Structure 1
Amino acid sequence: MRVFSLFAIVGGCSAVKDYLFKACADSGFCRQHVDNDGGGGYYVQEESLELTNGVLHGVVSKVQPHQVQLPFEISIVENSFRFRMDEQRVVGHKRYNEAAKWAFSENAQMGHLNYTRRKTSVDVSYGHHKKVVIQMNPVLFTFYYRDQVQLVVNEKQLLHMGLEPMGLEPMGKEPMGQEAIGLDFTLKGFSHLYGIPEHADTMSLKDTSGSEPYRLYNVDIFEYEVDSRLPMYGSIPLLMAVKRDVSIAIFWINSADTFVDIHKESNNSSVHWMSENGVMDFIVIIEDKPRDVNRVYGRITGNVMLPLLASLGYHQCRWNYNDIEDVLDVHSKFDEYQIPYDNIWLDIEYTDNKKYFTWHPENFNDPGRMLQVLNRTGRNLVVIIDPHIKTGYEVSQGLIDNDIAIKNSKNEVYHGHCWPGESIWVDTLHPASQPFWNKLHQRFIPDKYQNILFWNDMNEPSVFDGPETTMPKDNIHYGQWEHRSVHNLYGLTMHEATYKSLLNKQQRPFILTRSFFAGSQRTAAMWTGDNMSRWEYLKVSIPMILTMNIAGMPFAGADVGGFFGDPSAELLTRWYQAGVWYPFFRGHAHIDSRRREPWLAGDPYIGHIRDAIRLRYAMMPVFYTSFYEASVNGTPVIKPVFYEYHHHKKALDIEDEFFLGDSGVLVKPVTDEGATTVTFSSVEWGDTFYSFTNGVIGEKVESLAGGGGSAAAAVTLGDIPMLLKGGSIVPMKMRYRRSTKLMRYDPYTLVVALDKENRAKGTLYVDDGETINGEYTYITIEADASGLRSSSAINVEKVIIVGGSTINGVSSGNLKQEGGRAVITNATLPIYFVV
């Protein structure tokens, strides 16, 4: 959401204004880091090196302009190299050093390193085929993988620890002093970089030479523009570089305002990280493949939570449904038009005068009745709770009485303006805020109803009258940390607090957050914020969500139809057809947008939208299985093409088609107005693919004959272009049900697409969809010449085989022909397949 008050603040605007947000030239620390001539001067004190309990300790010094001591430690975390350097101060406040505490998983494992001291350098070895040569003077890190140089750190001598005054920010007073840090990383042989969300930009990061660097600073950005390096609502300081046989990630563990400058020369890329303050802390992950990098990063920061199954269904939202009767009318019309959905949302107007943890006394005076009606068909209600708390009622008074409100630079409760008007903000970094937050949620949720879920918005935090639409950097949090130090992780602390408040329930919590940081994937989903009802926003949503998957936070989506404006019927239809592939699938609209529930689109659009949403539900077993696999191994839920074909350089630039997990389902949504054809590029590299448009299996794509090895296909307005890779088995549920909960006992249809060796394999995850530690089954399904097998019993009503007819037991006599496909029904095949 965005506020109309912003118009008053900036004098009226129709799009985001660059002048509302700092460019590098406006930020003292960035400007001077970029202008740094690489003078260096940092060196390792050789006599300081000491290995203790598997950690290498030492001290970096810089003589000019005055002697400083910078203690560092090198450790191994999940088989990856971590460097952490602080500043030794005799007096004064220490640098912020707790970003890793919030970002890291409690299960992250430390490893051991070996080191050899040489005359002018130190060799550090760890894991398999990994070595770092540390040059003493000047400081230089050279990373080897499989005996090849892959990365050089500080090659351009841009290491900086804010030891001299760097120029005050325009806001003035900064009581903790100038503490900016910066460092350069040169990636050898890498020209394709990804990650560092959130930006409305291409998936492959651009060269920023002569232009604005990417900025990581969580802000409430009004009507954001596409093709932009401006900051947005969340920040994950993880950058991935990919080439044919090696993938590298740089995890910059810092929650302050950060700029990332990228330069590409020949086949090399250099990345200059610059943060306003904090300790120097980074991890380098080097592995063979992108998925291996995700696996390691997931072990460090935690994998995505296994979501509530219902949260993978369709979410219907707008700002705002007017009252209980409006909610229940929309609810009933989904059933009337036979469109499945799982969750209906309430924006801020459900509250009593925008006071969170209250209900409007007239419009929502009986929430229990509303929840009861929704619960009959397995539906949930999602309500918004933001971190700004209106002054003058019991919740804000409780923050003050418990001393858990964010303070200003004078150590007084900070007051600013947001939706309720004058507000104060809960300091979720304070340990005492958690029990207070718990009591608020427990009291707020109507008795006996588990079907209420939560939305934490505006948690950048958004402050309408604050600098850059957020709060002053010299505000104070628990521990006397300045807000500038923790700004990018504040949203994480808020949605984690909400998650913990709901853990006493049997049902898995669901929280949607707008602001996020590394580690947010453990407890929340995200969406891309206040997009617009234009084709370019539909198009950019795909690389934005793929980037979130690359950066380890796959439970991501974008507002279907666009938040601002009124989409054409064609755009709305195409957006639903793309949105069914968003891991988080929600339709949402601004309060001034026309109502656009699916049935209002009229014919023929309502039929196409209905078919798209039903396809999402048919594919629910694949989505849920992909989420389970992501929760275990960190892999994306929707996967960029280069994850499958990173050996092919062209694959590194494909951002408009993607795989659904490891299922073999390849999708290319239509994102151009009036399009009548689409072309898949991913069929160029030798694998067998079958047409799978709208989830209906068909012939090999060679019959679609595109040029240059690609596959072109005609599409109508009702078509969702899909292919299925040979060697895949896709479990689907084909019966219409009103919600995921009502699908639980439905049988499966197995789509078996054989590869060139007449083999196929698939997986299926099954549990109750709700409880946190309930029973589950993870099933492997295989097909080859000897038969069709599964590792556990599966309730199957139909098997469809394409690509061959030599599977034992179904190769003759048991086959019916439907449009050239081999179809086995339960009339000719046992329902249960057991190893």
Structure 2
Amino acid sequence: MRSSTLTWASSLCLLSALTSLTSPVLAVKEHDFKKCDQSGFCKRNRAYADSAAATGSSWTSPYNILPESASIKDGQFQAVILKTINDKGETVRLPITVSFTQAGVARVTVDEERRQNKDIELRHNSAARKERYNEAEKLVIVGGLELDKTAKAVGEDSTSSTTVQYGPDGQFEAYIQYSPFSVEFKRDGATEIKFNDRGLLNMEHWRPKVDAPEPKEGEEAVSPPAEEATWWEETFGGNTDTKPRGPESIGLDISFVGYNHVFGIPSHAGPLSLKETRGGDGNYNEPYRMYNLDVFEYILDSPMTLYGSIPFMQAHRQDSTVGVFWLNAAETWVDITKQKIKGNPLALGAGATTNTNTHWISESGLLDVFVFLGPTTQDILQKYGELTGYTALPQESAIGYHQCRWNYVSDDDVKDVDRKMDKYGIPYDVIWLDIEYTNEKKYFTWDADKFSDPSGMGERLDEHGRKLVVIIDPHIKNAPDYDVVSQLKSKDFGVKNKDGGIFDGWCWPGSSHWIDAFNPKAVDWWKSLFKYDAFKGTAENTFIWNDMNEPSVFNGPETTMPKDNLHHGGWEHRDVHNLNGMTFHNATHLALLSRKTGELRRPFVLTRAFFAGSQRLGAMWTGDNQASWDHLAASIPMLLSQGIAGFPFSGADVGGFFGNPDKELQTRWFQAGAFYPFFRGHAHIDSRRREPYLAGEPYTTIITSALRLRYSLLPAYYTAFHRAHVAGEPIIKPLFYTHPNAEAGFAIDDQFFVGNTGLLVKPVLEEGKDTADMFIPDHEVYYDYFDYSVVPTQAGKRTNMPAPLDTIPLLMRGGHIFPRRDQPRRSSQLMKYDDYTLVVTLPREGGHAEGSLYVDDGDSFDYEKGQYIHQAFVLDGNTITSSSAELERDASKVKAGAWLSAMADVHVDKIVVVGAPSEWAGQTEVSVTSGGKTWTAPIDYTPASGGRAAFAVIRHVGTAVGSDWEVTVV
């Protein structure tokens, strides 16, 4: 049986560790976490796949649609699948619904009729729900489900199949075969995705538990068959998981036809292009696992689970992307294998030489899968965003630099760091407090000795336009003098154990209880704790960090909560585990929105655990990495994976959480972090202090330059965040996204483009390197960002770039326009009304470039009332124009508030044109027209020389940034 308490000796050891907090409670080893063959349902489904493969062509899936049950109406195909469960021909009925949405997304949902209609006796847990978990949609899906009522059957054989045509212009088809059951999804007549093509659908049906008879005297007890050994309970690491509902896993094979690369399903510390998982040279032997866990010092190049999960996968080949979203919050494993296409692959499209076969396995819940047929990655991300929500538009300060460590030890320490950052001219926006700020790890309290004046500390930061973030975790200390835990208990808002009592486990405070954020009333109570008069010492510039919300339970199985714990509504923790972190993140997000009546500030909440939909709530980071070059390198594919999985507001601890980076590593990590969407330096309590001003010269100067570069590019980053907010675009983009036909770049994951700026970044990720081999994906011209030199390039090849320690390999692709602010300031708040510079990069041919700027007050929700500026910039020949980026918007009808009125005095001060044409030589003035007025502005032209491109600088342009204008050079 699983022990709910520690032994006396281990309790003392753990208590000692918790008290000192000088090191992690456990040094994580790979064997602390399950492999597939140690997870009963994964092992069974993998064995099922092996059996099917061994049987070969004679294998027949036991799942068949009952023909007379099939119908299609108002955008939905409905039927009953019969699963044959034994040689007697007995069957289980599994209702299936295939829904077709107006956006062209198909959704396949399979439930279990017996669970729906019969009162199932649960032998051990009368409080648990009887049916399969079916509430993930309520928490994850926010839109995009409107049915396509024009979807129609176009090739129907009432006895064997139905073909449904759906989507824009009827370009998609779903061919549903009845016996054995399978589905093919087609685009323009070509099959892109197959369900159950290999016959691995396996929906473990409900069955009553039959206890083995007591052995008679002298007889040995009869053990259950090996496959049944983990049906009703299983043990790992000394913890026993009771399973009152018995086996209820689901498995399905999903094949991507003609696709060699698959991406997504974060978070894993491996390459962007996912590896095969059934062994072989360079492959993994384990499936990718999605089961949110607290993984100290995680290992690299591994499919093992990490802190968050998004079961969203894309497949890509030349000029084509498709994808699936597996809506299931239980523990999930994914096997990936590939096979070469026989015959003529050209029939499938360019580059279609390989099929990628995947096998998805979840412990419980419904089979619920969304299918996206592209054809572009952005098509898929936009439709996925319509379903699960787009990235919340953050405060502008949230995309500046965050200074953090475990821990700043006092309010004087915080003020000292703030003062020294200013002394050395180092910009930053937010300083953070880890768990030591509290009174004995009691959240919503302060250590009165070390933080005697938190309000004064916050006011000091506010004077400089800066913010404070404090940590609040989901575990509540079980202490008799702690009002928060008393309320949690009295209101019955805690997670329960399998017997229905409040769950008690161990985390940083010692004995703890966990808020059940699935309970709406618990969320309302949680919101009340953040009121300014309740959480004294906080103010409008105080924001929150949610850590340990997987949830992390130090004495739990795999350092998390027992699966047979109970949540609101009687659902077992096994059903909702991967959603747990998001519900806590959501509760805190809502709390910051309700701290006072009429709260106008956007919330900022960082989370460690996440699921599909978490992007609506804030930012994430990749957890407890190490101060090593390998971990720096791993951060890039990890963040790229987050971006193409719909959660682009992501970062990694700059410098590494564990350990002490040397000066070179710290410097290179800041140079890389300057391009992370979420940019935070963080360190373990045992690590040496490493604020940038402590690095010493030349390192402090180089790090400061990287930080100032980030701040100068904040307008471009904020514009990219706006695109993420309205269309689901990544902030940093992998090459397969930006260049979908450049096959040699599909697997490249150590460089990326920033938004739509044309900025191509390749951070230096290896020790001692002073050059960088950048892959150039096209024939366009590329300029060095810093000196405007033309980079010698060849499409589809690498070019060697000089990269001494003080240099970031950063190129500008021709044909783009991006905004920046060039005046260095201490924080983004102090840059709020600074003028703008536009950088224009001429293409190799054609003299045309485009870009945009989105800006609002960076703090409130007034943008929802039209208080924003959104301009599109175009260079055409010798003319540069600015006009509204939203043709349907009439800005003149928007009554300007205080911020928008002030922006009338903010100008485009300078335009830098890189690659300026030779006919501009000799020009001293340009013509500027705006608002019915025309004036001149000076232009300086510098001819090409020594490999550097010609460039022109137009100064004192003087046009309001939010106005329409035209600049003509000749």
Q: The TM-score by the shorter chain falls in which range?
A: over 0.9
- Using a 3 Å threshold, how does the CA distance of structure 1 residues 299 and 495 change in structure 2: closer, same or farther? same
Task: Output the CA distance in 2 between the equivalents of 1:677 and 1:610.
Answer: 21
Q: Which residue of 1 aligns with 2:933?
A: none
Task: Output the CA distance in 2 between the equivalents of 1:619 and 1:346.
Answer: 27
- Using a 3 Å threshold, how does the CA distance of structure 1 residues 807 and 451 change in structure 2: closer, same or farther? farther
Task: Output the CA distance in 2 between the equivalents of 1:490 and 1:12.
Answer: 23
TM-score (norm: length of structure 2):
0.83
Alignment equivalent of 2:869, drawn from 774, 777, 783: 777
Deviation of 1:361 (Å): 1.4
**What does residue range 122-271 of structure 1 map to in structure 2 within 5 Å?**
122-128=162-168, 129-163=171-205, 167-168=230-231, 169-170=234-235, 171-210=240-279, 211-266=285-340, 267-271=354-358
My pick for the range that moved more, 761-770 or 357-366, is: 357-366
Aligned length: 826
Asked whether the 8 Å contact 1:753–1:803 carries over to 2, the reply is yes
Q: Which residue of 1 aligns with 2:30?
A: 18
Q: Give a deviation string over 1:769-791, Cα, whole Å, max 9, x none.
A: 00123311111011112411111
Q: Which residue of 1 aligns with 2:81?
A: 60
Pair 1:688 & 2:781 matched: yes
SS in 2 for 1:287: coil
Deviation of 1:475 (Å): 0.1
Q: Which residue of 1 aligns with 2:395?
A: 308
Instruction: Give the fraction of aligned pairs with identical amino acids, expressed as a percent.
Output: 44
Deviation of 1:750 (Å): 1.1
- Using a 3 Å threshold, how does the CA distance of structure 1 residues 456 and 137 change in structure 2: closer, same or farther? same
- Using a 3 Å threshold, how does the CA distance of structure 1 residues 108 and 503 change in structure 2: closer, same or farther? farther
- Using a 3 Å threshold, how does the CA distance of structure 1 residues 480 and 13 change in structure 2: closer, same or farther? closer
Q: Which residue of 2 aligns with 1:624?
A: 718
- Using a 3 Å threshold, how does the CA distance of structure 1 residues 14 and 823 change in structure 2: closer, same or farther? farther
- Using a 3 Å threshold, how does the CA distance of structure 1 residues 806 and 99 change in structure 2: closer, same or farther? farther
Q: Which residue identity is paired with 1:151?
A: I
Q: Which residue identity is paired with 1:162?
A: E
Task: Output the CA distance in 2 between the equivalents of 1:286 and 1:495.
Answer: 31
SS in 2 for 1:432: helix
Q: Which residue of 1 aligns with 2:413?
A: 326
Q: Which residue of 2 aligns with 1:788?
A: 880
Deviation of 1:751 (Å): 0.9
Q: Which residue of 1 aligns with 2:952?
A: 823
SS in 1 for 2:358: strand
SS in 2 for 1:583: coil
Deviation of 1:55 (Å): 2.0
- Using a 3 Å threshold, how does the CA distance of structure 1 residues 610 and 812 change in structure 2: closer, same or farther? same
Asked whether the 8 Å contact 2:458–2:538 carries over to 1, the reply is no
Q: Which residue of 2 aligns with 1:436?
A: 525
Q: Give a deviation string over 1:367-420, Cα, whole Å, max 9, x none.
A: 111110000011000000000000122111111111110000000000000000
Q: Which residue identity is paired with 2:97?
A: E
Q: Give a deviation string over 1:507-530, Cα, whole Å, max 9, x none.
A: 100000000000000002000000
Q: Which residue identity is paired with 2:952?
A: V
Asked whether the 8 Å contact 1:16–1:224 carries over to 2, the reply is yes
Q: Which residue of 2 aligns with 1:492?
A: 582
- Using a 3 Å threshold, how does the CA distance of structure 1 residues 759 and 99 change in structure 2: closer, same or farther? same
Asked whether the 8 Å contact 2:742–2:796 carries over to 1, the reply is no
Q: Give a deviation string over 1:104-146, Cα, whole Å, max 9, x none.
A: 1246544332224214100011113100100000001111111
Task: Output the CA distance in 2 between the equivalents of 1:134 and 1:6.
Answer: 58
Pair 1:70 & 2:87 matched: no
Task: Output the CA distance in 2 between the equivalents of 1:770 and 1:439.
Answer: 23
Q: Which residue identity is paired with 2:647?
A: M
Asked whether the 8 Å contact 1:783–1:807 carries over to 2, the reply is no
**What does residue range 664-703 of structure 1 map to in structure 2 within 5 Å?**
664-682=758-776, 684-692=777-785, 696-702=786-792
**What does residue range 561-710 of structure 1 map to in structure 2 within 5 Å?**
561-682=655-776, 684-692=777-785, 696-702=786-792, 709-710=797-798
- Using a 3 Å threshold, how does the CA distance of structure 1 residues 828 and 213 change in structure 2: closer, same or farther? closer
Pair 1:96 & 2:133 matched: yes
Q: Which residue identity is paired with 2:243?
A: E
Task: Output the CA distance in 2 between the equivalents of 1:742 and 1:771.
Answer: 16
Asked whether the 8 Å contact 2:547–2:607 carries over to 1, the reply is yes
Q: Which residue of 1 aligns with 2:893?
A: none
Task: Output the CA distance in 1 between the equivalents of 2:960 and 2:289.
Answer: 55
Task: Output the CA distance in 1 between the equivalents of 2:415 and 2:794.
Answer: 49
Task: Output the CA distance in 1 between the equivalents of 2:387 and 2:441.
Answer: 38
Q: Give a deviation string over 1:587-633, Cα, whole Å, max 9, x none.
A: 00000000000011100000000000000000000100000011000
Alignment equivalent of 1:50, drawn from 30, 46, 71: 71
Which structure is higher in RCO with an 8 Å CA cutoff and minimum separation 6?
A: 1
Task: Output the CA distance in 2 between the equivalents of 1:440 and 1:198.
Answer: 31
Q: Which residue of 1 aligns with 2:221?
A: none
Pair 1:715 & 2:743 matched: no
Q: Which residue of 1 aligns with 2:572?
A: 482
SS in 1 for 2:162: strand
SS in 1 for 2:666: helix
My pick for the range that moved more, 478-487 or 239-248, is: 239-248
My pick for the range that moved more, 83-92 or 463-472, is: 83-92
Task: Output the CA distance in 1 between the equivalents of 2:67 and 2:145.
Answer: 30
Unpaired stretches in structure 1, ≥5 consecutive residues: none
- Using a 3 Å threshold, how does the CA distance of structure 1 residues 807 and 777 change in structure 2: closer, same or farther? farther
Q: Which residue identity is paired with 2:104?
A: N
Q: Which residue of 1 aligns with 2:896?
A: none
Deviation of 1:150 (Å): 1.0
Task: Output the CA distance in 2 between the equivalents of 1:590 and 1:522.
Answer: 29
Pair 1:351 & 2:438 matched: yes
Asked whether the 8 Å contact 1:6–1:464 carries over to 2, the reply is no
Q: Which residue of 2 aligns with 1:413?
A: 502
Q: Give a deviation string over 1:55-107, Cα, whole Å, max 9, x none.
A: 22211111222321111111124320001111012222000011122111246
